[in-house]
Amino acid sequence: MAIIIDGKKISSDIKNELKARVENITAKGIKPKLALLLVGEDAASQMYVRSKERYCNDIGIESVVLRMPNTTTEEEVLDIIDKWNNDKTVNGILVQLPLPKHINESKVLLSISPSKDVDGFHPENVGRLVAGLPSYVPCTPLGIYELLKRYKINLKGKHCVVVGRSNIVGKPIANLLMQKEPNANAIVTVCHSAAPDISYYTKQADVLIAAVGSPELIKGEDVKEGVVVIDVGINRVEDLSTEKGYRVVGDVNFAEVSKKASAITPVPGGVGPMTISMLILNTLRSAEKEVYKD
Ligand code: NDP
């Protein structure tokens, strides 16, 4: 039977650890602060922002949330960020995505000071990650890295196959796992929609990371015995037997793949819960001046 990698439990452990770190730094007179900007009325975004606010509150980090209407202009957004960039009491800035279509997302992300870029999307942090320098790493890949580390999955010389090459998940996790350092040092293959047959790659994986957004794409026959599987996908599929009329599945067919895997993340309850803990970890690292010293 595969070990079930319990992201919910690990995230809760990390939350307790972060709380202790916050107490420590607060005792030294530093009060960590996260500034969040939400533009528009997207229901999912509102829920994500509320849970980030709640998390901060639970562990003693100050959060400021600015909720702006859909009609907010790009210039107004850039002004807010400029204000937060120059506010010494703000350690982390997060712009909840997606932004309304009339606002240029890359321009906004580029305007965030790299030293407060706790989402790790600024090209300076991307470049630092690739170069193996201290950086803010995007929260979902950082969560995957932390899960593998805490479950003591040795990656040295192992073949990690990443399916998906997004800037948010695929590219950063590939870069993290190939770094020459104790909890990484893997041989990494990245595949994407241009692959004529992804099973050619997934069958070779010692560690498989699926970040595709396609429900149960990877089946039992696509993996080898003993594989470690990290399923990042969050997909809604219709299920009229449930109260909501849908259920959430990953990019991996859990029933089939868990029979062959040595360890696997469930969906939900695997990678998902880690993301928020990593955002707060990055905020704390900013307050502790761990990445950018000035
Ligand atoms: P994107 O849509 O940005 O990227 C998907 C990637 O998968 C692309 O690189 C695409 O290739 C590739 N792809 C699509 N179809 C196939 C296929 N049939 N075979 C091989 N590759 C394919 O998605 P994200 O990376 O943002 O997210 C991926 C999944 O992870 C989603 O389900 C999302 O909801 C979930 N997610 C979960 C998070 C969490 O747990 N907290 C956070 C972020 C995402 P190409 O580049 O060629 O288009």
Full domain range(s) for residue 157: 139-272
| pLDDT for 267 beyond 90 | yes
Q: 172-222: per-residue pLDDT in tens?
A: 999 999 999 999 999 999 999 999 999 999 999 999 999 999 999 999 999
Regarding whether 252 and 159 lie in a shared domain, the answer is: yes
Ligand 1: residues with CB < 6 A are: 140, 163-166, 168-170, 191-195, 198, 211-214, 217, 232-235, 271-272, 275
CB atoms within 10 A of CB 15: 17
CB proximity list for 6: less than 8 A, separation 6 or greater: 269, 270
Q: Is 103 buried (19+), middle (13-18) or exposed (0-12) by CB count in 10 A?
A: buried
Quote the CA–CA distance of 62 and 80 in Å, as a whole number. 18
Residue 126 tokens read as: 């991307």
In a domain, residue 281? The reply is no
Q: Please, which pLDDT band fits residue 1 given cuts at 50, 70 and 90? A: confident
Q: Ligand 1: distance of its center to the CA of 230 in Å?
A: 13
Same domain? 144 vs 257: yes
Q: 166: pLDDT confidence band, cut at 50, 70 and 90?
A: very high
Which is the closest atom of ligand 1 to the Cα of 213? 32
Average pLDDT of span 60-72:
98
Q: Are residues 156 and 235 in the same domain?
A: yes
Q: What is the mean pLDDT of residues 260-267?
A: 98
For residue 52, the domain's CATH number is 3.40.50.10860
Asked whether residue 84 falls in the same domain as residue 143, the answer is no
Ligand 1 probe mutation, 105, 234, 252, 279, most atoms within 8 A of CB: 234
Ligand 1: which residue has its CA nearest to atom 47? 193
Q: Is 156 a catalytic residue?
A: no
One domain for residues 259 and 147 = yes
- For residue 291, is it within any domain? no
Residues 108 and 143 in one domain: no
* CATH code assigned at 224: 3.40.50.720
- In 3D space, the residue among 80, 74, 132, 125 whose CA is nearest the CA of residue 100 turns out to be 74
Whether 46 is catalytic is: no
Structural domain includes residue 143: yes
Are both 152 and 100 inside the same structural domain?
no
Domain count, the chain: 2
Per annotation, catalytic residue among 119, 206, 222, 251: 119
Tell me: the pLDDT tens digits for 127-154?
999 999 999 999 999 999 999 999 999 9
Per the domain annotation, does 104 fall within a domain?
yes
Span 272-286, average pLDDT:
98
Residues 264 and 152 in one domain: yes
- pLDDT for 293 equals 86
Domain shared by 211 and 99, yes or no: no
The structure tokens listed for 181 are 């350092």
Same domain, 108 and 156: no
Are 170 and 138 in contact, with CB atoms under 8 Å apart? no
| Residue 86 belongs to some domain of the structure | yes
Statement: residue 242 has pLDDT above 80? yes
Calculate mean pLDDT across residues 245-260.
98
| Mean pLDDT score of the chain | 97
| % of the chain surpassing 90 pLDDT | 99
Query: How far apart are the C-alpha atoms of 200 and 124, rounded to whole Å?
Result: 34
Question: What tens digit of pLDDT does each residue of 72-85 get?
Answer: 999 999 999 999 99
Mean pLDDT throughout 58-64? Answer: 98
Same domain, 109 and 145: no
pLDDT of residue 291: 93
In a domain, 26, yes or no: no
Q: Is residue 211 part of a domain?
A: yes
Using an 8 Å Cβ cutoff, are 56 and 90 in contact?
no
169 and 212 part of one domain = yes
Q: What percent of the chain has pLDDT over 70?
A: 100
| Residues whose CB falls within 8 Å of the CB of residue 231, separated by 6 or more in sequence, listed in order | 210, 250, 251, 252, 254, 264, 265, 266, 267, 270, 271
Whether 114 and 292 have beta carbons less than 8 Å apart is answered as yes
Which pLDDT band, with edges at 50, 70 and 90, does 108 fall under?
A: very high
